[in-house]
Amino acid sequence: MPELPEVETIGRGLARALEGRRIAAVTVRRADLRRPLPQGFAGRIKGRKVLSVRRRAKYLLIGLEGELTLLAHLGMSGRFRVLGPDEAAAPPERHDHVILATEDRTRVVFNDARRFGLMDLVKNGALESHPLLAELGPEPLGNEFSGPVLHERLKGRRTPVKVALLDQHVVAGVGNIYASEALFGAAIGPKRLARTIRAAEAERLAAAIAEVLRAAIASGGSTLRQYVQTTGEIGGFQHKFAVYDRAGEPCPRCAAPIRRLVQGGRSTYFCPRCQR
């Protein structure tokens, strides 16, 4: 599942493939993603040069000539493939929905089996007020994120802290995997109500969030070749999780068995001994 580190890694790959290049052709094979592609999608992109590829939360922002930004979200199963000129003959694959071809015969292919992903076109002037972006919480790797900021945002919430971390309005970009990992890193129990998290704990949690995300980006970055993919698992380089998907295995800190529970319909993994 692409969370912030995966989206960051993918963005870097797309930057290498696209920045400074002109989009020569756009193929839409399926327009009905999570929401329909905007009217005139292909025509509005074609011929424009790509100026930048950035990330906000789990969104990719591909800046185009003419003050236009292509907004993309990968949902659950979205991925991008980059095909070089030597792969010009490669046929489309199942679930390839949008293909951007640059003038130097590179193709960037958006593939999304479950179609929870989306794309939109936004005029740069309207970017900050875009409904999908306007209410997002702070970037966990940015300067505006800190223990006190997180503490403030958890204050008053009666929902479990794990569930709160998944709310993109609290902190942007943390998904199900790194929520569990960060709580483990901060030694905070996932069932604790958000409003009971004290300042010192929020400080630890904010640091743990940044730490796990940074580590995941660092390991994801090393696997990036011509394939831009979602989980960083090429060549056995998969990032090692401390607790996620490890129910029954020993806690790496105290060896107690990792437990799984379901919160808000999502799996949570934690060490019942270390995390309080």
Partner DNA sequence: ATTGGTTCCTGCTGGC
Partner DNA sequence: TGCCAGCAGGAACCAA
User: Applying CB under 7 A, which residues contact DNA?
Assistant: 1, 3, 32, 34, 57-58, 73, 75-77, 94-95, 113-116, 131-132, 156-159, 163-164, 166, 168, 175-177, 194, 262, 264-267
Would you say 35 or 48 has its CB closer to DNA? 35
Active site residue 2: yes
Active site residue 211: no
Looking up tokens 């006190």 gives 148
Least Cβ distance, residue 125 to DNA (angstroms): 20
Catalytic residue, chosen from 48, 266, 272, 273, is: 266
Q: Extract the runs of DSSP E, i.e. beta strands, from 14-162.
A: 23-28, 50-56, 59-64, 68-73, 78-83, 96-102, 107-112, 118-123
Residue 53 or 165 having the CB closest to DNA? 165
Provide the sign of the torsion angle of the four alpha carbons 184, 185, 189, 191, taken in this order.
Answer: negative
| Closest distance to DNA from the beta carbon of 181 (Å) | 12
Q: E strands along 103-215, which residues?
A: 107-112, 118-123
CA 157 to CA 159: how far, in whole Å? 5
Residue 51 Cβ, how far from DNA at the closest point, in Å?
24
C-beta closer to DNA: residue 3 or 102 = 3
115 φ, ψ (degrees, to nearest 5):
55, 40
In whole angstroms, the minimum distance from the beta carbon of 168 to DNA comes to: 5
**Cα torsion angle, 55, 186, 264, 154, sign:** negative
Task: Dig out the tokens for 189 from the structure.
Answer: 């129990």
Which of 30/46 has CB closer to DNA? 30
**Residue 3 catalytic?**
yes
Catalytic: which of 58, 162, 192, 246? 58
The residues assigned a catalytic role are 2-3, 58, 266
